Amino acid sequence: MIIPCIDLMGGKVVQLVQGRKKALEGEHPHRMLERFAGFPVIQVIDLDAAMEQGENNAIVEDLATRARIRVGGGVRTVERAETLAALGADRIIVGTAAFSADGVREDFLRELARRVGPSRITIAVDSKQGRIVVRGWQESTTLQAADVLRQLEPYCSGFLCTYVDKEGMMQGTDLAWFQQLRKATSKELTAAGGITTLREVRALLAMDVSAALGMAVYTGRLSLESLRALLPEAAHPPRVADATP
């Protein structure tokens, strides 16, 4: 799949570099859904919740009535995951809470899977300089992504793996790393971070890896028309309602 991304901060659609520096603002969330018509899934990240500076629940709930969305950002408790599920998220993306400094928090993930259901959970396995990073990519663990995917499989439907080293930098991504991850799990795998060219998108799709796209789309480096041309003809369009605010 090709998955366009909507990142929310202060009620606005934004794009950050390295998860911190705001590079640009997008259009109203409804307008972004209009632009993303035809893509089966939209990824929504609540950056305020991730940074523990509030939340954008009302926008998330509204978007969930208009499209099939996967939602992450600040999901550090089972209760937060349940809230997002109640708001209508098709999948809930869990990152920081899945890991301790040197291991997987299986007790937390087991309870999360019991109460929300593994089919609705995507685990974010984000890496910088070869190590899994948490808390807005500011803290590094001792773990490497390829080593823990099998351990995480019972608790989720798939993985969102961000190559943080190039996130938002428009400098390309590490296809070899994603190929390594593809070999490490049979679960759904979504790549993010630095994906800049159609060649990279095609290469990921050929690996059976989905591509989550942000900065390259918002800056026009990747056109939505060229990306739609890569969608399977049999793909079902998302349920996007009237986008009038």
* 208 has catalytic annotation: no
CA R_g for the chain: 16
Please, are residues 12 and 47 in contact by the beta-carbon 8 Å criterion?
no
* 7 has catalytic annotation: yes
Burial class of residue 169, CB neighbours in 10 A (0-12, 13-18, 19+) = middle
163 DSSP 8-state letter = B
Residue with tokens 């997002």: 84
Compute how many other C-beta atoms are within 10 angstroms of the C-beta atom of residue 238. 19
What is the C-alpha to C-alpha distance for residues 103 and 197, in angstroms, rounded to an integer? 34
Considering the candidates 62, 107, 126, 165, report the single residue annotated as catalytic.
Answer: 126
Considering the candidates 7, 102, 174, 242, report the single residue annotated as catalytic.
Answer: 7
Going by C-alpha positions, the residue among 43, 44, 47, 42 that lies closest to residue 18 is: 47
One-character DSSP codes across 59-124: HHHHHHHHS-EEEESS--SHHHHHHHHHHT-SEEEE-GGGEETTEE-HHHHHHHHHHH-GGGEEEE
Farthest-apart Cα atoms in the chain, separation? 47
Catalytic machinery residues: 7, 126
